[in-house]
Amino acid sequence: MLPWRRNLHALVGAYALDALGEGAERERFTRHLRRCTSCAEELRGLREVATALAYATAAEPPPELRRRVMAAVSRTRQLPPEALPQWRFRGWLSRIPSSGWLPRLATATAAIAIAAVVALSVALSSATQQLNSARAQGQAIAAVLAAPDVTTVTGPVSGGGVTTVVLSAGRRELVVSTSGLAALSGGKVYELWLIGPSTAQATAIRRAGLLPGAEAGLTAPVLASGLVAGDKLGITVEPAGGSNQPTTTPILLLSLPAVT
């Protein structure tokens, strides 16, 4: 069984993000790129975006770029929580306003990856002293987004807003971002939880990180690890610094694709 053969087209996002390393996988994809026109075309679009992002890390991303990327992400709500064949994504992408680079992107995964990097670059430009840890987190997030088994789930938040989860069952990791959540006062924070199937066990609810402050209604992606079978994602409002266990009613309880 050679899984890379099956998923070679899916590696274009990882290649564009420099997430393939220098090993054999990168060499195989480079060879594939010479004879696959759809991957070559997609890579050209991704490189244009990468150039825009290089600018964005030094300054605020152009509002129009962010608006378009987040519009693309919001459309993933129309997708069921399973990976779809690429031809369906093409139909989905054709509904995005057709100017600039976005229509060239051939997969929803690539659009989401770019959205995550854009959101991250916002975090970078507003906190340059945290550059190194943010870069490390960015690489970990890119690895999830580029995983061959990546799937996307979205869910509405009670009180307004949407949560987007990009998940790799194989890596047991997920990336969480939100849009349109209500602003919190008094130092309160949104806390993420992984909630196992049995709440009778104290270990069934695990902390999964705090959402960073929203920038224009969007929160930068948060990586959560240690996903187990039957987990749901929960969000609660907690006092400053977060809590060890939820102290309020979840405003989101989202079923996640099965991990085995």
- Residue 239 and residue 218 in contact, taking contact as beta carbons nearer than 8 Å: no
Shortest distance, CB of residue 15 to Zn ion, whole angstroms?
A: 10
The binding track of 202-221 with respect to Zn ion, each residue x by CB under 5 A or -, is --------------------
If one asks whether residue 28 binds Zn ion (CB under 5 A), the answer comes out as: no
Task: Tell me which stretch binds Zn ion (CB under 5 A): 32-40, 118-126, 156-164, 211-219.
Answer: 32-40
**Using the rule CB under 5 A, which residue among 4, 28, 36, 96 binds Zn ion?**
36
If one asks whether residue 39 binds Zn ion (CB under 5 A), the answer comes out as: yes
Task: Give just the sign of the alpha carbon dihedral 29, 32, 34, 36.
Answer: negative
Closer to Zn ion by CB, 25 or 215: give it: 25
Partners of 194 in beta bridges:
206, 233
Kindly state the DSSP code that residue 218 receives in the 8-state scheme: B
# chain residues binding Zn ion, by CB under 5 A: 3
**Residue 4 class from Cβ within 10 Å (0-12 exposed, 13-18 middle, 19+ buried)?**
middle
Helix (H, G, I), strand (E, B) or coil at 206: strand
Shortest distance, CB of residue 239 to Zn ion, whole angstroms?
A: 49
Q: Please tell me the distance from the alpha carbon of residue 149 to that of residue 174, in angstroms, as a whole number.
A: 12
Closer to Zn ion by CB, 18 or 64: give it: 18
Shortest distance, CB of residue 83 to Zn ion, whole angstroms?
A: 16
The amino acid present at 156, given as its one-letter code, is P
Q: Which two tokens stand for residue 16?
A: 């564009």
Phi, psi of 183 (to 5 degrees): -70, 140
**Using the rule CB under 5 A, which residue among 4, 9, 104, 196 binds Zn ion?**
9
Shortest distance, CB of residue 33 to Zn ion, whole angstroms?
A: 7
If one asks whether residue 148 binds Zn ion (CB under 5 A), the answer comes out as: no
Task: Tell me which stretch binds Zn ion (CB under 5 A): 9-17, 161-169, 219-227, 239-247.
Answer: 9-17
Q: Please tell me the distance from the alpha carbon of residue 18 to that of residue 22, in angstroms, as a whole number.
A: 9
Shortest distance, CB of residue 50 to Zn ion, whole angstroms?
A: 18
Phi, psi of 184 (to 5 degrees): -105, 150
Site residues (vs Zn ion, CB under 5 A): 9, 36, 39
